[in-house]
Amino acid sequence: MQVKITQQVTMAQVKADIAQKFPQYTLSMRNPKILVVKKEGTSATMLSIQKGKITVIETFPTMGGQMLFIMIMILLGILIPYIVYMIAFQPGQKAVTKEVAAFVGSQYVQKKVVAKK
């Protein structure tokens, strides 16, 4: 999910704002450009800042979890692990993504003010 922003923001600023708004979530940097917001053991979202937008996608909170899921998909075939993912993991990840994307959209988009005559 891409959230268009109207302000220049840094990853440190986004991290501080999300930590203040969602103290129950665990925040970590995967690398200097990717912030991981973790809710539970398998529910997380990743944020990445590009020019004029912040990309928010659902993911597993650790690289190990992602690699394990990919290995299971390779070993068991694509269909069965994908169905399990869609039923067991994706709803929680999607909920975190929607919460964080809504906050980021409301926080970093400037509201247009129309003067009344």
Alpha helices for 22-113 (secondary structure H) = 63-76, 79-84, 90-108
User: What total number of domains does the chain contain?
Assistant: 1
- Specify if 116 maps to a domain: no
Alpha-carbon distance of 56 to 48, in angstroms, equals: 7
Of residues 31, 38, 82, the one with CA closest to residue 60:
38
Please report, for residues 37, 58, 70, 97, 103, the alpha-carbon distance to residue 17 in angstroms, rounded to integers and kept in the order given: 12, 19, 32, 16, 9
pLDDT digits (tens, 9 = 90+) for 5-57: 888 899 999 999 999 999 999 999 999 999 999 998 889 999 999 988 999 99
pLDDT digits (tens, 9 = 90+) for 84-115: 999 999 999 999 999 999 999 888 876 544 54
The domain containing residue 64 runs over which residues? 2-108
Alpha-carbon distance of 88 to 82, in angstroms, equals: 10
- Specify if 104 maps to a domain: yes
pTM: 0.83
